Structure 1
Amino acid sequence: MTHADPESPVARPTPVSAQDVGNVLDHYYYLPDKLRVVAGEGVYLYSDDGRRYLDCSAGTFNLSLGYAHPEIVETVREQAANLIHVTSKFQTGPLNDLVAKLAEVSPPNLTRVHLKSASGSDANEGAVKIAQAHTGKSDVVTLFRGHLGQTLAMIGASGAAFRRTPFPSMLPGVVHVPDPHCLRCFYKQERATCGLLCVERINDFIDYASTGRVACVVLEPISGNGGNVVPPDGYLQALKDLCEERGIILVFDEIQTGFGRTGQMFAADHFGVAPHMMTFGKGLGGSGMPIAGILTEDRLTGVAGHHINSTFGGNVLAAAAAVKTIEVIGRPGFLENVRAVGAHVTARLRELAAKVPFVQEVRGVGLMIGIDIVDRTGRPDARLTNHLAELGLEQGLLLRTSLYGHGNVLKVRPALIMTMREADEMCDLLERLFLSVA
């Protein structure tokens, strides 16, 4: 399909009257954006009026191979003709293949695969249950800006008070600790002399703010919704050392960072630190198939299935797509291209930052990049961040902001298949956008 093809669904969208649209919108729980999309291809999305948009966010960071990747489409078509879903108590070829693939590409200590999760929230909650069951302890340590999911328990474990305000029931025993955010260090330190105080002080939180019975530390190696905060060198290793000294299970939430986003298969590979458990989802679906799960060390097996299973977990159709996704990402040159394109985009955005007064920092790894937006006094500016995203839509860019619009970071995380030409197109559009408001 091409944008100019008169036979394409983009050029000839299904007619929908204004009255029809109005009637449909009356039934939504909350109103969707006014944009009505009809097709996608690669890094581009097409609306019913024939406009093309460059998606800087790969859907919700889950379209690692872009829209309608031909190999994913063909894989799904072939699998759907045979078997879409079966209870996960049975073996299937796609599930067996996926378990083998995940064990092969994960850090060597993570040898057990649990695929009976239907979402990232579900996987993170399952990981906490496993940690609690194995340690006999209850508390969970997470980061201020952490985003671990949408269930009540994971909202409670996530950072940001605005997410917890409406709900009276929360996971007990959650201890939130400061992020390793060097730009806005909680402890007002400089990295050259701080001695990784953000890790050392976690001991104080455990000793004085917890029940003394900490089961696990759960964090994203690079914060996703929290503002694309990249930890300083040594942070994750020091955190693992702390966990092992105190008998705490370290869980990496790699739902956003996994499967090539950082230019390595996992962020754990990029940082050279293997956790005791890892959760995954989003990008494993390739072009949007819903799938999530948990990788654990062998010692953490044994939790009964009825505690951590989900009806649609281990979906056969999604598993087939996931096997193909791992195959594509693992091909020679794929991750090298992610690293090269990511470095190119980061360099161009840093050049752009020097031309406008409201960008304080461009940070990221691979194609997981954040643009930190501030006001004239240097304070985080969520209003301007949201304004840029809204203007971007008018100019053909799909942008997402941090903390559900409460944050000050524009998230640049396009599909991993992005070419240098497409990267330059994206950066040109971002430059035009930023200069228009400078």
Structure 2
Amino acid sequence: MTPSIHDQIYYPVSAERMVRGEGVYLYDEHGRQYIDCASATFNLSLGYSHPAVVKAIQKQAELLIHTTSAFQTDPVNQVVARLIGESPANLVKAHLKVGGGSEANEGAIKMAQFATGRREVVSLFRSHHGQTMMMASYSGNAFRKAPFPMPYPGSLQVPDPYCFRCFYGQQRQTCGLMCVERIDDFLEYASGGQVAAMIVEPISGNGGNIVAPDGYLPRLRRFCDEHDIVLILDEVQTGIGRTGQMFAAQHFGVEPDAITLGKGLGGSGAQVAAILTNDRLAGLPAHHHSFTYGGNSLAAAAAVATLDIVAEPAFLANVRATGAHILARLGDLRGRHRAIGDVRGVGLMIGVELVEPDGAPAVALTNEIARRGMAHGLVLRTSRYGYGNVLKIRPPLILTHSQADDICDRLDALLREVAA
């Protein structure tokens, strides 16, 4: 008997076999169409098989797929120049010799450690910064670390700016941003006194789409300056137009010491990532963080095509408009579905928090809605790898107004079905 793919493939896969994608839509072997509300793994910023990205990859494949990053290539030179040109003014260096977001985050931390001579790293509760041992150790979820006997040392987590479930029991109007002010206590009593960097997602990617409240990131920037701590913004999920600005740093009005990128930089799935830094972090010798497929010419060509499209003011305006429309529609659904406790987001990075009647996180319900979403033609993902209670709405940035309505209509029908 021929073994099942479920017996042979190491990780779990669904029963559906996908064969084609176009724009915001994914198609299975039976021809069923799904709106991908997760942009695959939040990395298809331009959706499936965007013509400009496909053309760039085809053209580059005929010339040069890969060469060692010790040499210049036109695509790499172009993407470096474009990223520096689009980034906050203080970021003047681009490091492309990384293959994904985990490697980008780890590299930025190494740069901070090298520049400061210190070793510890502060991150937030619920944060997710990658899958390597270092980044799993620095992320803010115990379940990510539990199976491994030797988590990477020097990790310190502090409360995130989760206003809906404030760690300090405060209200934003009167809290004085306690989630920043009290970090002093963690440094004094819980650290080893050797903090090099703080790494923060402007909007938590996997942790529940927690949006930094107004004033949080500028105040955190001042805090890091006061304590000579390098501030790294993990924009692997928020970067490249996701918030309606090229970088979330620009939306929140802050200049970090480094920005890390991945996912959406590849447009339609090219594997490319980058670290953008200021001059202070520019001194790490290349041999300390250099990966075989970093600086890949084919992926860089896709990234250039992606940046050409996303940088257009009209494109970013559409992200803001469709995102605002979805938020308004979801706000209306919140009034009609008691299970929706909160709706939050910026641009097309949106979260729907589901709650029990007593306000507790409705984790089982969240997973059930995501599971049933396929029958309604919706690909949905949940927070914290199924441990969380937030549905993540992050479709490709090419989403139209009518497609945004379609998502909301289908989600409304799905919620009514589950409630019944």
The TM-score range, normalised by the shorter chain, is over 0.9
Instruction: Identify which of 285, 304, 322 aligns with 1:323.
Output: 304
Instruction: Identify which of 383, 402, 408 aligns with 2:389.
Output: 408
User: After the TM superposition, which residues 15-414 of structure 1 pair with which residues of structure 2 at under 5 Å, given as runs?
Assistant: 22-414=3-395
Q: TM-score, normalised by structure 2?
A: 0.99
- 3-state SS of paired residue (2:40): helix
**C-alpha distance in 2, partners of 1:318/1:394?**
34
**C-alpha distance in 2, partners of 1:138/1:30?**
34
- 3-state SS of paired residue (2:351): strand
Q: How far has the Cα of 1:272 moved from its partner?
A: 0.5
Q: How far has the Cα of 1:34 moved from its partner?
A: 1.1
Q: How far has the Cα of 1:306 moved from its partner?
A: 1.2
Residue type of the partner of 2:357? Answer: R
Residue type of the partner of 1:37? Answer: M
**C-alpha distance in 1, partners of 2:80/2:276?**
10
Q: Does 1:417 align with 2:398?
A: yes
**C-alpha distance in 2, partners of 1:418/1:60?**
16
CA deviation vs aligned residue, 1:192-236 (integer Å, no higher than 9, x gap): 111111000001101110011100000101100000001111110
- 3-state SS of paired residue (1:124): helix
- 3-state SS of paired residue (2:8): coil
- 3-state SS of paired residue (1:59): helix
Q: How far has the Cα of 1:26 moved from its partner?
A: 2.3
Residue type of the partner of 2:259? Answer: M
Q: How far has the Cα of 1:332 moved from its partner?
A: 3.5
- 3-state SS of paired residue (1:72): helix
CA deviation vs aligned residue, 1:237-282 (integer Å, no higher than 9, x gap): 1111010011100000000000000000000000000101110010
Judged with a 3 Å threshold, the aligned counterparts in structure 2 of structure 1 residues 242 and 332 are, in CA distance, closer, same or farther, namely closer
CA deviation vs aligned residue, 1:19-56 (integer Å, no higher than 9, x gap): 76x44332111231111000000000000011000100
Query: Which runs of at least 4 in structure 1 moved beyond 2 Å after TM superposition?
Result: 22-26
Q: How far has the Cα of 1:410 moved from its partner?
A: 0.1
Instruction: Provide structure 1 residue ranges, at least 5 long, that are not aligned to the other structure.
Output: 1-18
**C-alpha distance in 2, partners of 1:274/1:34?**
45
Residue type of the partner of 1:25? Answer: H
- 3-state SS of paired residue (1:326): helix
Q: How far has the Cα of 1:302 moved from its partner?
A: 1.6
- 3-state SS of paired residue (2:202): coil
**C-alpha distance in 2, partners of 1:292/1:431?**
36
**C-alpha distance in 2, partners of 1:83/1:95?**
12
CA deviation vs aligned residue, 1:280-304 (integer Å, no higher than 9, x gap): 0100000000111100001211211
- 3-state SS of paired residue (1:312): coil
Partner of 1:9: none
**C-alpha distance in 2, partners of 1:366/1:332?**
14
- 3-state SS of paired residue (1:247): coil
Residue type of the partner of 2:110? Answer: K
Partner of 1:7: none
Q: How far has the Cα of 1:387 moved from its partner?
A: 0.2
Residue type of the partner of 2:124? Answer: L
**C-alpha distance in 2, partners of 1:196/1:373?**
25
**C-alpha distance in 2, partners of 1:309/1:377?**
50
**C-alpha distance in 1, partners of 2:313/2:365?**
41
- 3-state SS of paired residue (1:337): helix
